Amino acid sequence: MSETIERTDVLVIGSGFGGAITAYHLAAGGAKVTVLERGPWLESNEFDHDYKLGSSYTRIFDFVVGDGMSVLGGNCVGGGSVVYFAAMPRAPRFVFDRHGSIGRRMWPKSVSRDTLDPWYDRIEESLSVRRQQWEDVSYAGGLWAAACHRAGRTANPLAVAIDGSRCTNCNWMMAGCRFEAKQSLTVNYLPAAVAHGAQIRPLHEVQYLTRTPEGAYRVHYNIVHDRDYRLQNGSGVIEARIVVMAAGAAATPVILQRSEAHLGAMPYAVGRYFSGNGERLNTAVVDEEKAAELLGLSRGDGRAYAANQIGRGPTVASWDRLDGSLPEYSRYSLEQLYFPPGLGTILAQVPGGAAPSWFGKEKKELLKNWKSWLTIFSMTEDDNEGVFGPPPATGNAHRISQQMLGRGSLRYVPTQNTWRGWNQSDAEVKEILEKDGLAKVMPWTNDLVGAYTVHPLASCRMGDDPHTSALDDTNELRGHPGIFVTDGSAVPGALTVNPAMTIAALAERAIPHIVAAARSRGVEVVYGAPAPGGGTSGRRGVLPLLPRTAGV
């Protein structure tokens, strides 16, 4: 009995920034678009305000433990935008000139801060990105700013994609925003894509791609059980003339590796040059009396701070080290971050301990003061040293539990360059926060789950050199015309800031090229849709940059 094969013009794999943006523009341009998403589709009222096992957060997160690196990402319609903290800074200018481990410029010549700025403008319009003012920052952000000022550093409020009129300062945004204040893609690009006819199918996990004799692609998927992701409820095949890979930097390369047996050789860089965005955590236990005495802080009720859980995610960052004149691997940002109880309290170490302390009397005493913790998130320059091994039989990882937890094939051995950035940022956090006894700092340890990242990048990166980049400067996969990659795996390397803004801008930049490729394959589609909310000022800014073949 032959298998029924559906057909669509464009098949998008993943519904995060790279997938949602692509789906909207191509559907608005007239193409028949189907989006396959591995995770569930949760409404805003389904997001639980807890981090208990079995609640919504275990359904919408994907935590994959590798060899030396663990990756925490989104697993739901909307992808990482549902679980991110909505920090949206632009990448510093020097990032685009980084050499990294290859000893020459990693980014394509056509991509720089200047050429990307108009696409950043598009995202700012589409997601209502605004820079917070000091009256917007959380208690934790204010404490970090005051500590930086006292230590002779500067600090600035972050740009965020948050509707301040809806935000209740509940600080549960990492588990999904119940109030639709956070500009997740589920409140803009995705509903706009659906309005233009795009079909979004949750719980569809793509396994591999094959090619038809006519040069189209067939995407083979399994349907995942809605509660136990280890189980399957069937499978299917969809044929498309254009495929957009946007499954995330920890899944896109795995799908392409598994497809190699059917499509032929993949570019050398598929599954190599992975970057964890150079990320590092430091947690400090703040002395409340010192916070009042040294920083002059007061909440008006006799407490100086004791507010780790109040407010929202990152609101303040120190960018003193984002200086292009500094040597590579010594540039980084230091961002105040709310890391919620659960994984954060499990991994927290007792300050000054001789060895990692996962449990015991001292750890219990430490946990009593968790409301007075301050977490500082460092984003440094790493060496793109991550490599994916052979792919698992199905999915992006071997699923260990019914939700969330998996064991992946990523191997990450930090180089001395990467360690240099981590050590310097650790030392600076310690210097700022331990000045005159304000706090005691607990640096991250790699002993339990290795290094970690919440912003995986570069596993199918773009570039000009075919040997060190999987994509050309239009985001098309080398040697496989009609396959584009628009998620974080396309970003060439660490950005030293939160990457959502850059991933989104690169996806917007890729759309005209995808439209041109689709038109060359017989798809009647044009480029030129406004922002999801109807705005057109950002569109006007990019019109001079568009290729003539985009069908504007």
- What lies within 8 Å, CB to CB, of 453 at 6+ separation is 69, 70, 71, 72, 276, 277, 279
At residue 247, what is the residue type? A
Residue 470 vs residues 116, 493, 501: alpha-carbon distances, Å: 20, 13, 22
**Euclidean distance between CA atoms 408 and 420, whole angstroms:** 26
Q: pLDDT tens across 436-448, in order?
A: 999 999 877 777 6
> Does residue 543 have a pLDDT over 90?
no
**Euclidean distance between CA atoms 472 and 357, whole angstroms:** 46
3-state secondary structure of 387: strand
Note every long-range contact of 107-114, with CB atoms under 8 Å and residues 24 or more positions apart, other chains counting: 107/462, 107/463, 107/492, 108/462, 108/463, 108/464, 108/469, 108/472, 108/473, 109/464, 109/473, 110/473, 111/462, 111/473, 111/506, 111/509
3-state secondary structure of 13: strand
Mean pLDDT of 382-393: 97
Helix (H), strand (E) at residue 117? helix 113-127
- % the chain with pLDDT above 70: 95
Concatenating the DSSP letter of every residue in 142-172 gives: HHHHHHHHHTT---EEPEE-B-TTT---B--
Mean pLDDT of 70-96: 96
> Does residue 355 have a pLDDT over 70?
no
> Does residue 1 have a pLDDT over 50?
no
Task: List the one residue out of 370, 297, 304 whose CA is nearest residue 339.
Answer: 370
Q: pLDDT tens across 297-312, in order?
A: 999 888 999 988 888 8
Lowest average pLDDT, out of 9-13, 90-94, 411-415, 544-548, goes to: 544-548
**Euclidean distance between CA atoms 541 and 552, whole angstroms:** 14
Q: Which residue has the higher pLDDT, 344 or 413?
A: 413
**Euclidean distance between CA atoms 317 and 515, whole angstroms:** 38
What is the CB-side half-sphere exposure of residue 511 using CA atoms within 13 A?
Answer: 34
Q: pLDDT tens across 448-499, in order?
A: 668 889 999 999 999 999 999 999 999 999 999 999 999 999 999 999 999 9
Q: What is the reported pLDDT for 50?
A: 83
Q: Provide the CA 33 distance to its chain's centre, in angstroms.
A: 24
Q: What is the reported pLDDT for 548?
A: 61
At residue 104, what is the residue type? R
Q: What is the reported pLDDT for 44?
A: 93
Q: Could you give the angle at the alpha carbon of 13 between the alpha carbons of 484 and 238, nearest 5°? A: 100
**Euclidean distance between CA atoms 262 and 208, whole angstroms:** 8
Q: What is the reported pLDDT for 4?
A: 84
Q: What is the reported pLDDT for 221?
A: 98
Note every long-range contact of 263-267, with CB atoms under 8 Å and residues 24 or more positions apart, other chains counting: 263/209, 263/210, 263/211, 263/480, 264/479, 264/480, 265/479, 266/470, 266/477, 266/479, 266/480, 267/466, 267/469, 267/470, 267/471, 267/477, 267/478, 267/479
- What lies within 8 Å, CB to CB, of 167 at 6+ separation is 179, 181, 182, 312
**Euclidean distance between CA atoms 192 and 316, whole angstroms:** 32
**Euclidean distance between CA atoms 69 and 402, whole angstroms:** 21
The owner of tokens 């990032």 is 95
Q: pLDDT tens across 155-193, in order?
A: 999 999 999 899 999 888 888 999 999 999 999 999 999
Q: pLDDT tens across 410-439, in order?
A: 999 999 999 999 999 999 999 999 999 999
Helix (H), strand (E) at residue 34? strand 33-36
Mean pLDDT of 224-229: 94
Q: Which residue has the higher pLDDT, 56 or 379?
A: 379
Beta-strand (E) ranges in 77-224?
A: 130-131, 156-157, 159-160, 199-201, 204-211, 217-224
Q: Which residue has the higher pLDDT, 216 or 53?
A: 216
Q: What is the reported pLDDT for 214?
A: 94
User: Rounded mean pLDDT of the chain?
Assistant: 93
**Euclidean distance between CA atoms 537 and 530, whole angstroms:** 8
Q: What is the reported pLDDT for 302?
A: 87
> Does residue 507 have a pLDDT over 90?
yes
Helix (H), strand (E) at residue 240? strand 232-245
Q: pLDDT tens across 198-207, in order?
A: 999 999 999 9
Mean pLDDT of 67-75: 94
The owner of tokens 């950043």 is 120
> Does residue 516 have a pLDDT over 80?
yes
Q: What is the reported pLDDT for 546?
A: 72
Give me 242's structure tokens: 């254009």
Give helix 500-520 / helix 113-127 axis angle, nearest 10°.
100
Model confidence at 549, in pLDDT bands (50, 70, 90)?
A: low
**Euclidean distance between CA atoms 510 and 424, whole angstroms:** 36
3-state secondary structure of 253: helix
Give me 489's structure tokens: 């795996």
**Euclidean distance between CA atoms 372 and 366, whole angstroms:** 10
Mean pLDDT of 502-512: 98
